[in-house]
Structure 1
Amino acid sequence: MDPEEEEEFGFSRNYFLARESGSAPGKKSARKLSDIDLVDDQVLRAAAAGIATKHEKEIESLQESYRNLYSKWLFELKCHFGLLMYGFGSKKILLEDFASAALTNYGVVVINGYLPSVNIKQALFAVAELLQDQLTVKRRCSKGNKSKSQPPCSSQSIEALLSSLNEQLSDENDCFVCVIIHNIDGPALRDPETQQYLARMACCSHVRVVASIDHVNASLLWDKKMVHTQFNWCWYHVPTFAPYKVEGVFSPLILASGTAAQTTKTALVVLQSLTPNAQSVFKILAEYQLAIEKEEGQNAY
Structure 2
Amino acid sequence: MEDEDDEFTLSRNYFLAKETGSSSKKRSARKLSDINIVDEQVLQTAISEILPKHEKEIGHLLKTYKDLYSKWLFELRCGFGLLLYGFGSKKVLLEDFASTTLTDYETVVINGYLPSVNIKQVLITLAEVLSDQLKHKSSTRNKSRSEHPFSSQSVEDLLSYLNVQISHDKDCFVCVVIHNIDGPSLRDSESQQYLARLASCSQVRIVASIDQVNAPLLWDKKMVHTQFNWCWYHVPTFAPYNVEGKFSPLILVNCGNAQTKRSALVVLRSLTPNAQSMPISTLYTKCRERFLVSNQITLNAHLTEFKDHELVKMRRHSDGQDCSYIPLPSEALAKLLEELL
Percentage of pairs with the same residue: 68
Q: In the alignment, residue 83 of structure 1 is paired with which amino acid?
A: L
Q: Which structure has more RCO (C-alpha within 8 Å, separation ≥ 6)?
A: 1
Task: Kindly report which structure 2 residues correspond to 1:189-228, keeping only aligned pairs within 5 A, or say none.
Answer: 189-228=186-225
Give the C-alpha shift of residue 35 in structure 1. 4.6
Q: Secondary structure at the match of 1:105?
A: coil
Counterpart of 2:123 in structure 1 is: 124
Structure 1 residue 124, shift from structure 2 partner: 0.9
Give CA-to-partner distance per residue, 1:186-214, whole Å, 9 cap, x none.
Answer: 01001111111111111111100000001
Structure 1 spans left out of the alignment, 5+ residues: 1-23, 140-144, 263-301
Q: Which amino acid aligns with 2:244?
A: E
* 1:166 matched residue in structure 2: 163
TM (normalized to structure 2)?
Answer: 0.65
Within the candidate set 166, 176, 179, 2:176 is matched to 179
The alpha-carbon deviation at position 258 of structure 1 amounts to 2.2
Match of 2:86 in 1: 87
Residue type of the partner of 2:96? D
**8 Å Cα contact 1:178/1:210 also seen in 2:** yes
Q: Is the 8 A contact 1:40 1:258 kept in 2?
A: no
Partner of 1:258: 255
Q: CA deviation at 1:253?
A: 1.3
Q: Distance in 2 between matches of 1:231 and 1:146?
A: 28
Equivalence for 2:100: 101
Amino acid at match of 1:223: D
Distance 1:109 1:99 in 2: 10
Whether the 8 Å CA contact 1:114–1:183 is kept in 2: the answer is yes
Mean Cα deviation higher: 172-181 or 159-168? 159-168
Displacement after TM superposition at 1:175 (Å): 1.1
TM-score, length basis structure 1: 0.73
- C-alpha deviation, 1:261, in angstroms: 12
Amino acid at match of 1:39: V
CA distance in 1, matches of 2:258, 2:228: 35
Q: Which amino acid aligns with 2:235?
A: V
Once the two structures are superposed, residues 11-69 of structure 1 have per-residue CA deviations (whole angstroms, 9 ceiling, x without a partner) of xxxxxxxxxxxxx7552455844553211223312321221111111111111110000
Larger radius of gyration: 2
Deviations 1:229-284 (A, max 9, x none): 0000000000000000000111111111223998xxxxxxxxxxxxxxxxxxxxxx
SS of the residue corresponding to residue 97 of structure 1 reads helix
Moved more, 145-154 or 61-70: 145-154
Q: 1:51 aligns to what SS in structure 2?
A: coil
Q: Secondary structure at the match of 1:42?
A: helix
Residues 70 and 98, structure 1, Cα contact 8 Å, conserved in 2 = yes
- Where does the alignment leave 5 or more consecutive residues of structure 2 unmatched? 1-15, 260-341
Indicate whether 1:242 and 2:203 are aligned: no
- C-alpha separation in 2, matches of 1:159 and 1:206: 15
Higher alpha-carbon deviation: 245-254 or 38-47: 38-47
Distance across 1 between alignment mates of 2:120 and 2:164: 18
**How many matched pairs?**
234
